[in-house]
A = this chain, B = another copy of it.
Amino acid sequence: MKKQHVTIHDIARELNISASTVSRALQNHPRISKATREAVQQLALKYNYQPNVMASSLRKGRSKTVGVIVPRINRNFFANVIGGMEEVLTSAGYHMIICQTLEKVNHEMFALRTLVNARVDAIIMSISMETKDHEHIRILVDKGIRVFFFDRICEEIRAGSVAIDDRLGAYLSVRHLLEQGYRNIVHVAGADHINIYRARKEGYLEAIREAGIPVRDSWIIEESLVPEGGKAAFQKGMKLAPRPDAYFCAGDYAALGILQEARNRGLKVPDDLGITGFANEPFTEFTEPSMTTVDQRAGEMGVRVADMFLKDVDRSDEVHSMERIMLKPELIIRKSSMLNK
C-alpha cells in the first residue's frame, strides 16, 4: 500500500519551490512564470495529482456537493429525477449526497441537518408526505442556505423550484375522458396538503366545470394512492348514483387497484369503465388494457432543477433566485380510456 495521495507540497519539494506557487501555477495564475507553471503542471500530470477536495472545500467554504432529499430513492419517479440531476451535476464537477425521508417528517429534518452539516452548497428536495409545517425548511433558507424544490414544492417558502403543471395534466386527462364520452367521472385524490395533489384536483374540477357537469363533492375520493387505496375508492364509487363510468386517479398505483377491482367485478375496461392514472409508471404500459396516464418528465425535471442551481451558484449570494419553472406534462393515451365510439 503506497502513499495514497500526492499533495502540492510533494510537488513543491521536488521542484524546490513553495506550495503556494504550486497552487497558483495549477490555477494558471498570471503572476507565475511560464517556466514554473509548465514544470508544475507537468509534474502534477506525471504524479496524477488530484487536489484534496476536503482541504479546498474547507478553505473556500463550499463543498462542490449538492444534497438531495427525496421521499424514496426507489420510486421510479424520484429515481428518474435523480438520474437527470446526476448527469448535469457530475459534468459540472459537483457531487450529490442523497437522503430519503421515507415520507417521514422527522427523517426529513434529520436529512436537512446532516446535509447542512456536510456543508453542501445547496439542497434540492421534494418534501415528504408528512410535512405540513415548513418551519424547519424556512429556518435554513433564512440562514442563507440555498434550497430548491422539485415536484412537491413548498409555495410558502421563497425558493427556486421545478414542477410539472399538475393542474394541466389533470385537466387534459379529464378532458380526454369527457371527449371519449365518459360522463360520471370520479376523482381518486391524494392528500390535500401536498401541492401536487391539490393541483390535480383543481385540474379535474376545471375540466368537469368546463363541461357543464355539476361538481359533486362525494365524487372526489381521497385515498392513499396505492392499489389498495384504488380498491377502496372503487368500493365507495359503487355506492354512488349515478354509477361512475370513469375514474381519474391522482396516481398510477391507485388506478391499477381500480383496474384490478373492476376486473374482479366483471366490468370491462375501457368499455364499461374508463380509467386514467398519473405518473406514467413503467408498468402502465404493460397492464391489460394498457393504462392512460400523465407523464411527469422526471428526467427533465432533474436536469432543470440542477441547471437552476448551477446558474444560481455563479451569482453573488445576495440575489438567490426563486424562479419557479413549470414543465408541461404529457398525456399518454392508452387503451384504458379509449371508448371506440
Report whether B54 and A63 are in contact in the complex, using a CB–CB cutoff of 8 Å.
yes
Report whether B119 and A52 are in contact in the complex, using a CB–CB cutoff of 8 Å.
yes
Report whether B99 and A86 are in contact in the complex, using a CB–CB cutoff of 8 Å.
yes
* Interface footprint category on A: 35 or more
Q: Is A288 an interface residue (CB 8 A)?
A: yes
Closest beta carbon of chain B to A305's beta carbon, Å: 15
Report whether A118 and B53 are in contact in the complex, using a CB–CB cutoff of 8 Å.
yes
- Residue numbers in B under 8 Å from A2 (CB-CB): 143-144
Give which listed residue, B54, B72, B75, contacts A57 with CB less than 8 A: B54
- Residue numbers in B under 8 Å from A287 (CB-CB): 286-288
The B-contacting residues of A in range 70-106, CB under 8 angstroms, are: 72-76, 79-80, 82-83, 86-87, 90, 95-100
Report whether B83 and A144 are in contact in the complex, using a CB–CB cutoff of 8 Å.
no
Interface-facing stretch out of A109-117, A203-211, A217-225: A109-117
Give which listed residue, B75, B99, B143, contacts A4 with CB less than 8 A: B143
- Residue numbers in B under 8 Å from A74 (CB-CB): 76, 79-80, 82-83, 298-299
Closest beta carbon of chain B to A28's beta carbon, Å: 20
The B-contacting residues of A in range 11-45, CB under 8 angstroms, are: none
Q: Is A58 an interface residue (CB 8 A)?
A: yes
Q: Is A283 an interface residue (CB 8 A)?
A: yes
Q: Is A1 an interface residue (CB 8 A)?
A: yes
Q: How far is the CA of A51 from the CA of B116 in the complex (A)?
A: 11
Q: Is A241 an interface residue (CB 8 A)?
A: no
Q: Is A266 an interface residue (CB 8 A)?
A: no
- Residue numbers in B under 8 Å from A119 (CB-CB): 5, 52-54
In the complex, the chain B residue whose C-beta lies closest to that of A50 is B117
Q: Is A319 an interface residue (CB 8 A)?
A: no
Closest beta carbon of chain B to A277's beta carbon, Å: 12
Report whether B53 and A73 are in contact in the complex, using a CB–CB cutoff of 8 Å.
no
Give which listed residue, B79, B86, B117, contacts A53 with CB less than 8 A: B117
- Residue numbers in B under 8 Å from A117 (CB-CB): 50-51, 53
- Residue numbers in B under 8 Å from A98 (CB-CB): 82, 86, 96, 98
- Residue numbers in B under 8 Å from A1 (CB-CB): 142-144, 317
- Residue numbers in B under 8 Å from A286 (CB-CB): 256, 283, 286-287
Q: Is A242 an interface residue (CB 8 A)?
A: no
Q: How far is the CA of A228 from the CA of B317 in the complex (A)?
A: 50
- Residue numbers in B under 8 Å from A283 (CB-CB): 282-283, 285-286
Closest beta carbon of chain B to A153's beta carbon, Å: 21
Closest beta carbon of chain B to A66's beta carbon, Å: 10
Q: How far is the CA of A82 from the CA of B98 in the complex (A)?
A: 10
Q: Is A55 an interface residue (CB 8 A)?
A: yes
Q: How far is the CA of A298 from the CA of B256 in the complex (A)?
A: 23
- Residue numbers in B under 8 Å from A100 (CB-CB): 83, 86-87
Report whether B118 and A95 are in contact in the complex, using a CB–CB cutoff of 8 Å.
yes
Can you name 7 A-B residue pairings with CB atoms under 8 Å? A4-B145, A58-B58, A65-B97, A74-B79, A86-B100, A96-B97, A287-B287
